[in-house]
A = this chain, B = another copy of it.
Amino acid sequence: MKRPKWKKAEFEEIEYKPLNIKELLVEMKDISELIVDLAYSAVLFNSNEIGEEVRYLEVRMNKLNYQIRMMAMLAVRATDDAEKLAGILQIAEAAENISNAATGIVDLLSVKHSHPILPHLIRESDENLRPIEIYAKSSACDKDIATLNIGSETGVRIIAIRRGKDWIYGPGKTTVLKAGDMIIGRGPDSGLQTLKDFLKGKIEVLE
């Protein structure tokens, strides 16, 4: 068994990189929204693959919270700054708490006896969330989302893309897909299956 990606991420050294507080907070907000959906999906599909994405995001959230605290402390020059930044740190803390709670859902995947009942319990929405990897042989590589007509042909919205260690949340029509990307798609089961075949290069075009 290969070592899960999030384990590697967890042990990377935390470095303080000067970033923008706004960018950090936007990413934390985006992660906290995505991670809740992903965590439920992991349990409903009994999917370690989705569970791994949740843990990966949680590790990233910890790092972002560390960075935003560093940024905030360095930015304070006066009482007025401190008041504004305390509010920002409170949101950052809540975002991390949401992400920790979501990880608690995923912990169920490692409990052998408890989960078989869960998929039947709450999987009833006609929209699902699935991670799909893009293979180099797919004709989707190096094309943007609008050109590929993914939405109109499959009914799937791409809500996030993981590219190596980076995430793109809420990609737009002009976002270009790359070989090796992991997309998170939300849509009907049949559309997700078609998109999976397309992104793995099993079918040439979506139509």
A146 at the interface (CB under 8 A from B): no
A152: Cβ under 8 A from any B Cβ: no
Pair A25/B121 contact, Cβ less than 8 Å? yes
Identical chains bound together, number: 2
A67-122: which residues lie under 8 A (CB-CB) from chain B? 80, 83-84, 86-88, 90-91, 93-95, 97-98, 100-102, 104-105, 107-108, 111, 113-118, 121-122
Q: Do B113 and A83 touch across chains, with their CB atoms under 8 A apart?
A: yes
Given contacts A83-B113, A88-B117, contact A104 B93 (CB under 8 A): yes
Residue numbers in B under 8 Å from A90 (CB-CB): 104-105, 107-108, 114
A32: chain B residues at CB < 8 Å are 36
Count of chain A residues near B, Cβ 8 A: 44
Interface string of A7-26 (1 = CB under 8 A from B): 00000000000000110011
Asked whether any CB of chain B lies closer than 8 Å to the CB of A153, the reply is: no
Q: With CB as the reference atom, state the residue of chain B lying closest to A37.
A: B33
A90 to B25, CA, bound (A): 29
Query: Could you name 17 residue pairs across A and B whose Cβ atoms are closer than 8 Å?
Result: A22-B122, A26-B122, A29-B122, A33-B37, A36-B98, A43-B91, A83-B113, A83-B114, A84-B116, A86-B114, A87-B111, A87-B114, A88-B121, A90-B108, A91-B108, A94-B104, A95-B101
